[in-house]
């Protein structure tokens, strides 16, 4: 019975106890809610990080994929309606490729076909033209020049030039395009000279110093020669005709056998020659007849041997200073670049239509026939094909004589007018909201110039207004201010930490630590004010006002350094403090001085913590904004001088977002791209500091 009773009571008791200690049942709904809320609070930090990554990443992607429309100053040549997919434009484009987009008005089109039909004619003299044509690739690269496909020449190619061409496997083919008469001209104010003989020309441009040396009745005044430069075919031709190829007399002022009173004035620019001759009544010069015609009001032409240059006198060779004009090309080029062959064909067919207007004289029929034959020979065809310029495509590079230039230019003009213009084939309606509309001729074309990742990290200028987005100058100045800051704060911070941890008595330490805490608690904008109104004037008084800019990275860097001294010293001091006293005592026991103990025992033991302090400090210096925004200056500047102004990444973000920032602008996107770069840099540094603490910690 008693057993039973006992067991009963014990069961009762058990039940009661069981009831009262089942605490878990007491957990009410609200506690679960509370726990849920607390968990949410914890998770919020993860949302924050994700938010940062998402926002920065999202806007950075927008930055790199955003259309950046750059005005090209090139316009539509024709009206285009909704159905047009092929149209021509005024001038060529350098950096357009198939697959790019372009914008006309508000409509965006994709380029599916692009013919960059352009003609470029350079005036570098006949000799210069041949030299460039037959230069080696290496030489061309060095001079940053392009090999012409056609050379304008106001004389025949010489043997030595042929030889040079042979070295680069160019076999020049000559096309006679007309005849130029060399005009001997004086100022319109010159009244004493109307005609000369060939011998007198030899004297005037040779030994004679004053006019009366040539004819006694001419004035007793020095002769001023104003002539084309040595690179021009005109010069070569003149020297060939008058001096049998010996230029030394003409350029005697450069030698010393004949001394002239006035220097010979030379210029490759014919208009300059015209002006100079016109201004000086005692001057004389020569150049192509075409230039005389253009400037016949300012200049007088002189008969040579009694004959005035004209179509007849040139044709029958009675005018002694007439010369042939050529263009040169070679068979390989003509076959490889059909536009060259077409252009020469067109040239030969149409040159006689324009040559009179240009001021030259037609070449004889025989010479033109020979040129035709040369073309047919080069192309292996039987008959000159009819050229429709609109069907020709490609780029034409022409260089050489300034004498042939006007002729080639007018041929090029009619070639372009007849349809040799850049043209686009496009796909319309490529984007959903982008409506296809018609556009009038003359409207400007914009091309898309998106910043690329490569450009972002390699371009050394950041000028959003012209589409230059290179983050290097910003990173550079950020690193500069950070480096200066570390130079200041690292020794001082560690010194302060060692003093507080190893030397200072507890009383001194308790007084000094709050001072450092105050230093750490001062808002950075106040430090910015300090940098601008105290540190900068100080630097300027030390190094000179001319040397130190008002806004400079040195001042900002030093003050950032002062800002992070407390950070380094407090983290380092914690690390030093964690080193067990027994280590120090062991060191003292071996007879080491305090400094030796600190340097050889305590610091090595605390190294991981101090290294982490260093890394965190760098990260802080990189991310510091207000000091650099105030004191380092506005405007990205790629410089290594600490006394110049240079905007940092953070300073740029602050300045751009502080202005009236449009959310729909590349500026807005760009600060997020900079922000992402900054975030990655500081994040990596923070992670690194954690690794350093974990890996190199000396456990005691």
Partner 1 sequence: MNQEKTKMKNSESLVPGEQEFYKRLQSRHQWGRIGKAFNMFSIGIAILALIALFFNVANEAFGTVGIVNTIEPETLTNGRPLEDLSNDELSTILADNVGKRLRVLIRDNISQVPEDEFTSATVADIVGDPNVDSAIANEILKDLEVEQQATLLANYASTATLRNLVLEEVVEQQVIASFSLSDTIFNFDAIKAEIEGTILDDYKDKNDNPDANVEIIRYYSWLNSDFLTTPMSSTPALAGIRTALIGSIGLMVIVIVVALPIGVGAAIYLEEYASDSIINRLIETNVRNLAGVPSIIYGMLGLAIFVRALAPFSSGLIFHYNFDVPTVDTVVNRIAPLLDNEIEYTNGTIISNSDTVDTQTAQRVIDTFLYYGTPTLSMMGNSDITDLSNSLAHALDTDVDVLQVRSSDEADIEIHGTYYSFEVADDALILEETFDSLMASLVRINSFSPNGRTLLAAGLTLVLLILPIIVINAQEAIRAVPYAIREASYGLGATRWQTIWNQVLPAALPGIMTGTILSVSRAVGETAPLIVVGASTFLVTDPNSPFSQFTAMPIQIYQWTARPQGQFGDIAAAAIIVLLTLMLSLNAIAIFLRNRYSIRY
Residues 12-31 that bind partner 1 (CB under 8 A): 23, 26-27, 31
Binding status of residue 650 toward partner 1 by CB under 8 A: yes
Among 133, 326, 527, 614, binds partner 1 (CB under 8 A): 527
Find out whether 286 and 274 touch, Cβ atoms under 8 Å.
Answer: no
**How many CB atoms within 10 Å of residue 88?**
18
Name the minimum Å distance from CB 103 to partner 1: 18
CA nearest neighbour of 453 among 667, 638, 676: 676
Residue 470 found at the interface with partner 1 (CB under 8 A): no
285 binds partner 1 (CB under 8 A): no
CB 43 within 8 A of CB 666: no
Number of continuous H segments (helices) and E segments (strands) in the chain:
26, 19
The SS3 assignment for 585 reads: helix
Residues in the chain: 700
405 binds partner 1 (CB under 8 A): no
Would you say 321 or 628 has its CB closer to partner 1?
628
Residue 565 binds partner 1, judged by CB under 8 A: yes
Among 107, 280, 624, 647, binds partner 1 (CB under 8 A): 624
From candidates 518, 545, 547, 590, binder to partner 1 by CB under 8 A: 518
Does residue number 37 form part of the binding site for partner 1 (CB under 8 A)? yes
Write out the binding residues for partner 1, residues 568-587 only, by CB under 8 A: 569
361 binds partner 1 (CB under 8 A): no
Between 112 and 687, CB nearer to partner 1: 687
| Helix pair angle (666-696, 29-65), 10° resolution | 120
Contact 348, 372 (CB under 8 A): yes
Q: Give the shortest CB-227-to-partner 1 separation in angstroms.
A: 53
Determine, following the binding rule CB under 8 A, whether residue 48 of this chain makes contact with partner 1: yes
Separation of alpha carbons 177 and 370, rounded Å: 11
Nearer to partner 1, 344 or 598 (CB): 598
Q: Any contact of residue 43 with partner 1 (CB under 8 A)?
A: yes
State the Cα–Cα distance between residues 372 and 91, nearest whole angstrom: 31
CA 427, chain centre distance (Å) = 31
> Does residue 594 interact with partner 1 by CB under 8 A?
yes
In the chain, the largest separation of any two C-alpha atoms, in whole Å, equals 169
- In angstroms, the CA 371 to CA 376 distance is 9
- By the rule CB under 8 A, 44 interacts with partner 1: yes
**CB-wise, 37 or 192, nearer to partner 1?**
37
Q: Which helix (H) or strand (E) holds 490?
A: helix 472-498
> Smaller CB distance to partner 1: residue 398 or 559?
559
460 lies in the binding site for partner 1 (CB under 8 A): no
Q: Is 533 in the site for partner 1 (CB under 8 A)?
A: yes
Residue 534 binds to partner 1 (criterion: CB under 8 A): yes
Give min distance, CB of 655 to partner 1, in A.
9
* Helix extents (H) in 114-254: 126-133, 137-143, 159-167, 198-204, 233-243
Which among 415, 613, 625 has a CA at the least distance from the CA of 523? 625
Strand partners, 370: none
The residue among 177 and 616 lying less far from partner 1, judged by its C-beta, is 616
The yes or no reply on residue 269 touching partner 1 (CB under 8 A) is no
The rounded distance, in Å, linking the Cα atoms of 633 and 552 is 6
How many residues line the site for partner 1 (CB under 8 A)? 95
CB of 530 to partner 1, least distance (A): 5
Closest CB to partner 1 among residues 663, 700: 663
- The answer to whether residue 510 forms part of the interface with partner 1 (CB under 8 A) is no
Torsion over CA: 658, 664, 669, 675 (sign): positive
What is the smallest separation between the CB atom of 595 and partner 1, expressed in angstroms? 4
Contact between 499 and partner 1 by CB under 8 A: the answer reads yes
Query: Could you give the C-alpha distances from 675 to 53, 154, 498, 625, 683, in angstroms and in order?
Result: 10, 61, 36, 12, 12
Separation between Cα atoms, residue 207 and residue 249, nearest integer Å = 7
Helix (H) or strand (E) holding 405: helix 405-417
Q: How many CB atoms lie within 10 A of CB 532?
A: 19
Residue selected from 7, 35, 452, 461 as contacting partner 1 according to rule CB under 8 A: 35
Angle, CA of 659, 661 and 666, to the nearest 5°: 125
The distance of closest approach from Cβ of residue 512 to partner 1 in the complex, given in angstroms and rounded to an integer, is 6
Nearer to partner 1, 355 or 568 (CB): 568
* Residue whose C-alpha is closest to residue 399's, from 157, 129, 603, 135: 129
CB of 543 or CB of 679, closer to partner 1: 679
Q: For partner 1, which is the closer residue by CB, 436 or 661?
A: 661
**Which of 108, 41, 16, 98 has the alpha carbon at shortest distance from 68?**
108
User: Using the rule CB under 8 A, is 55 a contact of partner 1?
Assistant: yes
Least spacing, CB of residue 499 vs partner 1, in Å: 4
Residue in 498, 539, 602, 692 binding partner 1, rule: CB under 8 A: 498
- Smallest gap from Cβ 587 to partner 1, in A, equals 13
Instruction: Return d(Cα 289, Cα 270) in angstroms, integer.
Output: 11
Q: To the nearest whole angstrom, how small is the minimum distance from the Cβ of residue 550 to partner 1?
A: 10
Beta-strand relationship, 423-427 and 395-400: unpaired
52 binds partner 1 (CB under 8 A): yes
The interface region with partner 1, picked from 297-305, 387-395, 423-431, 521-529 by CB under 8 A, is 521-529
Question: Using CB under 8 A, which of 4, 46, 159, 454 touches partner 1?
Answer: 46
Whole-number Å distance between alpha carbons of 178 and 361: 6
Q: What is the DSSP letter of 24?
A: G
CB of 161 to partner 1, least distance (A): 56
Among 245, 380, 432, 521, binds partner 1 (CB under 8 A): 521
Q: Tell me if 640 contacts partner 1 by CB under 8 A.
A: no
């Amino acid at each position: 019975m008693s057993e039973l009773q006992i067991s009963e009571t014990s069961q009762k008791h058990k039940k009661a106890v069981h009831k009262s200690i089942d605490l878990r049942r007491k957990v009410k709904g609200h506690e679960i809610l509370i726990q849920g809320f607390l968990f949410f609070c914890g998770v919020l930090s993860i949302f924050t990080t994700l938010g940062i990554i998402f926002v920065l990443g999202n806007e950075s992607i927008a930055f790199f994929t955003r259309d950046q429309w750059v005005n090209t100053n090139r316009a539509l040549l024709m009206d285009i309606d909704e159905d047009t997919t092929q149209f021509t434009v005024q001038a060529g484009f350098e950096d357009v490729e198939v697959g790019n987009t372009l914008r006309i008005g508000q409509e965006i089109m994709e380029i599916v076909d692009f013919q960059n039909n352009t003609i470029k004619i350079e005036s570098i003299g006949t000799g210069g033209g041949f030299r460039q044509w037959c230069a080696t690739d290496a030489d061309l690269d060095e001079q940053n020049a392009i090999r012409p496909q056609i050379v304008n020449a106001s004389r025949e190619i010489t043997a030595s030039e042929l030889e040079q061409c042979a070295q680069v496997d160019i076999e020049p083919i000559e096309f006679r395009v007309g005849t130029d008469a060399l005009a001997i001209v004086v100022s319109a104010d010159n009244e004493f000279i109307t005609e000369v003989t060939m011998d007198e020309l030899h004297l005037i441009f040779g030994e004679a110093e004053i006019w009366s040396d040539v004819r006694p009745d001419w004035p007793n005044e020095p002769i001023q020669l104003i002539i084309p430069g040595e690179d021009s075919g005109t010069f070569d031709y003149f020297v060939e005709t008058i001096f049998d190829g010996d230029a030394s007399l003409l350029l005697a002022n450069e030698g010393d056998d004949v001394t002239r009173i006035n220097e010979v004035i030379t210029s490759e620019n014919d208009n300059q020659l015209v002006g100079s001759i016109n201004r000086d009544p005692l001057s004389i010069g020569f150049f192509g007849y075409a230039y005389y015609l253009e400037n016949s009001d300012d200049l007088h032409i002189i008969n040579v041997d009694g004959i005035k240059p004209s179509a007849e006198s040139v044709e029958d060779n009675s005018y002694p200073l007439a010369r042939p004009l050529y263009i040169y090309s070679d068979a390989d080029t003509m076959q490889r670049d059909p536009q060259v062959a077409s252009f020469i064909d067109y040239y030969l067919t149409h040159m006689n239509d324009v040559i009179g207007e240009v001021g030259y004289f037609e070449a004889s029929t025989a010479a033109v026939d020979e040129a035709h034959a040369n073309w047919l020979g080069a192309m292996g065809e039987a008959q000159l094909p009819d050229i429709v310029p609109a069907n020709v495509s490609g780029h034409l590079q022409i260089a050489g004589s300034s004498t042939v230039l006007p002729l080639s230019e007018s041929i090029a003009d009619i070639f372009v007018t007849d349809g040799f213009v850049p043209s686009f084939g496009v796909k319309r309606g490529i984007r959903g909201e982008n409506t296809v509309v018609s556009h009038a001729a003359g409207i400007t074309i914009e091309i898309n110039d998106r910043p690329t990742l490569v450009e972002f990290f390699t371009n050394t200028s950041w000028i959003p207004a012209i589409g230059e987005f290179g983050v290097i100058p910003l990173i550079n100045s950020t690193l500069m201010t950070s480096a200066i800051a570390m130079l200041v704060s690292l020794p001082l911070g560690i010194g302060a930490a060692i003093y507080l941890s190893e030397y200072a008595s507890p009383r001194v330490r308790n007084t000094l630590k709050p001072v450092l805490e105050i230093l750490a608690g001062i808002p950075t904008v106040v430090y910015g004010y300090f940098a601008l109104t105290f540190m900068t004037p100080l630097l300027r008084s030390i190094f000179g006002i001319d040397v130190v800019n008002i806004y400079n990275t040195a001042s900002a860097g030093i003050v950032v350094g002062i800002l992070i001294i407390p950070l380094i010293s407090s983290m380092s001091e914690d690390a030093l403090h964690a080193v067990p006293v027994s280590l120090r005592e062991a060191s003292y026991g071996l007879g080491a001085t305090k400094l030796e103990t600190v340097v050889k025992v305590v610091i090595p033991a605390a190294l991981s913590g101090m290294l982490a302090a260093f890394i965190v400090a760098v990260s802080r210096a990189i991310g510091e904004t207000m000091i650099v925004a105030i004191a380092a200056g506005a405007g990205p500047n790629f410089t290594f001088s600490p006394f110049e102004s240079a905007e940092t990444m953070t300073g740029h973000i602050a300045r751009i977002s502080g202005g009236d920032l449009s959310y729909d602008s590349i500026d807005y996107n760009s600060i997020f791209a900079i922000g992402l770069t900054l975030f990655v840099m500081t994040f990596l540094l923070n992670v690194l500091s954690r690794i350093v603490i974990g890996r190199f910690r000396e456990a005691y």
